[in-house]
């Protein structure tokens, strides 16, 4: 048996139960909660099967199959719907991986954190363009393999700001920094967030200069319906010195803080710096190390705690490197030993035992202590 509907067929064709009573049996087995009601329906099933000429041994066997199926069944219509959606998703990711993953980011409902889909886009040779205050796109947009990050991805921008910015842009492009500030009226923190992520690059020579100029918005008050700053001085004075460009690493750190991932440099270059990866095995090569203990290193992109039947804590940690992702498991002993250290970093180097899973098509990676 695979689907819930098979309960109806077994109860009707084997035991001779009418479909109404068979559906009651299905509901009880699906919920797996009402032992009293299940006992009553078992009696009905057995008496009906006896009237249909079934022997006690085969009745016991079939009822055992139904009882064991309880809690593991799935509705066939749901199964078909999920199958179609899964096939569509697989087809799209295979033929249009960057577009598909960008759509997942737009949907904001993926199973994993956005960073996982960002890393997957990079693995499929896509790249990212920083948000731009001049660009009115309200979604991740792909063009020639480059994914434009929408302005709403920048942390710290309010709904009021985004509405004011979009409305102003619909009326015409911004003539410059002064025009943008007077028409949109960003809060100081919002102006700084835009500057730190390079979204103001059209207005300034470099990001250092943008951050300094964005700081001038702080403390200013806005006057009247003309939407002009009460105090002058937002423009650059002729005598002001030019600031040097912001270092690449500093730009990447600012992007990671405000957007969630760096764009100026590869995320692995920024976040894995200083971690000794000598002798580690890439995630994509683990299949060739079944039955052995190896070390892997990567970013911790997903984690979840779980309690065993004895109430002990264990943890699942998904590591990502440049070649792919792999889920590792820390059983209670390893979790007690390594859990605190793992919680203090976004990266990890772990020694794992590589084994085939029970299906034979995947891997179990058990973290070893010590």
Residue 351 has pLDDT above 80, yes or no: yes
pLDDT attached to residue 231: 40
- Which range (118-127, 228-237, 305-314) has the least confidence? 228-237
Q: Collect all residues with Cβ–Cβ distance below 8 Å to 41 and sequence separation of at least 6.
A: 21, 24, 25, 28
Q: How far apart are CA 265 and CA 248, in angstroms?
A: 8
Residue 221 confidence (pLDDT): 55
Q: Angle between the 97-107 and 76-95 helix axes, to the nearest 10 degrees?
A: 130
Q: What is the pLDDT of residues 31-90, one digit of tens each?
A: 776 778 888 999 999 999 999 999 999 999 999 988 888 767 788 899 999 999 999 999
Cβ atoms 304, 291 nearer than 8 A: no
Q: What pTM value is reported for the model?
A: 0.79
Q: pLDDT at position 170, please?
A: 94
CA atoms within 13 A on the CB side of 242: 5
Q: Report how far residue 181's alpha carbon sits from residue 204's, in angstroms, rounded to the nearest whole number.
A: 14
Q: Is 232 a residue whose pLDDT tops 70?
A: no
Reported confidence tier of residue 108, pLDDT bands at 50, 70, 90: confident
User: Tens of pLDDT along 249-273?
Assistant: 999 999 999 999 999 999 999 999 9
Top pLDDT among 116 and 35 is at 116
CATH top-level class for 126-259?
mainly alpha
Contacts of residue 161, defined as CB under 8 A and 6 or more positions apart, other chains included, come to: 184, 186, 187, 190
Tens digit of pLDDT for each residue in 155-181? 999 999 999 999 999 999 999 999 999
Q: Supply the pLDDT for residue 217.
A: 83
pLDDT at 228 > cutoff 50: no
Tokens of 266: 């590869």
Question: By percentage, how much of the chain surpasses pLDDT 90?
Answer: 76
Position 230 scores a pLDDT of 42
pLDDT given at position 246 = 93
Q: Under a CB-based contact definition with an 8 Å cutoff, are residues 350 and 367 in contact?
A: yes
Q: Where are the domains of the chain?
A: 5-69, 126-259, 283-367
Rounded-to-integer distance, Cα 169 and Cα 183, Å: 9
pLDDT at 295 over 90: yes
Q: What pairs with residue 302 in β-bridges?
A: 318
Q: Residue 233's pLDDT is what?
A: 44
Specify the pLDDT at position 227. 45
pLDDT value at position 258?
A: 95
pLDDT for the residue 226: 40
- 283-367 has CATH 2.40.50.140 classification: yes
**pLDDT at residue 225, rounded to an integer:** 47
pLDDT in tens, 277-286: 999 999 999 9
What pLDDT does 183 receive? 94
Checking if the pLDDT of 229 tops 50, the result is: no
Structure tokens at 248: 């690449």
Contacts of 106 (CB under 8 A, 6+ apart): 139, 140
Considering the chain, what is the average pLDDT of its residues? Answer: 90
Q: For residue 220, what pLDDT band results from cuts at 50, 70 and 90?
A: low
């Amino acid at each position: 048996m695979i689907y819930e509907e098979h309960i109806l067929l077994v109860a009707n064709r084997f035991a001779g139960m009418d479909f109404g009573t068979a559906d009651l049996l299905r509901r009880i087995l699906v919920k797996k909660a009402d032992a009293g009601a299940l006992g009553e329906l078992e009696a009905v099933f057995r008496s009906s099967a006896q009237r249909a000429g079934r022997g006690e041994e085969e009745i016991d066997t079939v009822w055992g199959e139904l009882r064991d199926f309880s809690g593991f069944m799935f509705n066939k219509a749901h199964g078909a719907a999920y199958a179609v959606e899964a096939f569509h998703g697989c087809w799209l990711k295979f033929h249009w991986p960057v577009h598909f993953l960008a759509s997942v980011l737009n949907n904001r409902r993926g199973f994993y954190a956005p960073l996982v889909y960002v890393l997957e886009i990079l693995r499929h040779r896509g790249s990212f363009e920083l948000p731009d205050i001049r660009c009115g796109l309200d979604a991740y947009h792909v063009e020639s393999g480059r994914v434009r990050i929408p302005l709403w991805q920048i942390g710290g921008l309010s709904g009021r700001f985004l509405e004011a910015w979009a409305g102003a842009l619909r009326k015409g492009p911004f003539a410059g920094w002064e025009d943008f500030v007077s028409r949109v009226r960003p809060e100081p923190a919002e102006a700084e967030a835009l500057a730190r992520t390079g979204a103001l690059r059209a207005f300034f020579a470099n990001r250092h200069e943008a951050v300094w100029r964005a700081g001038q918005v702080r403390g200013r008050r806005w006057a009247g319906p003309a939407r002009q700053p009460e105090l002058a001085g937002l423009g650059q004075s002729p005598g002001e010195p030019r600031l040097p460009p912001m270092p690449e690493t500093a730009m990447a750190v600012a992007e990671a803080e405000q957007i969630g991932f760096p764009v100026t440099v590869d995320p692995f270059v920024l976040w894995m710096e200083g971690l000794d990866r000598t002798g580690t095995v890439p995630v994509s090569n683990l299949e060739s190390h079944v039955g052995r203990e190896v070390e892997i290193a990567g970013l911790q992109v997903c984690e979840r705690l779980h309690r065993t039947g004895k109430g002990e804590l264990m943890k699942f940690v998904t590591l990502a490197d440049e070649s792919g992702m792999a889920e590792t498991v820390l059983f209670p002993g390893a979790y007690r030993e390594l859990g605190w250290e793992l919680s203090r970093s976004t990266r990890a180097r772990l020694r794992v035992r590589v084994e085939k899973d029970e299906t034979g098509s995947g891997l179990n990676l058990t973290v070893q202590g010590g």
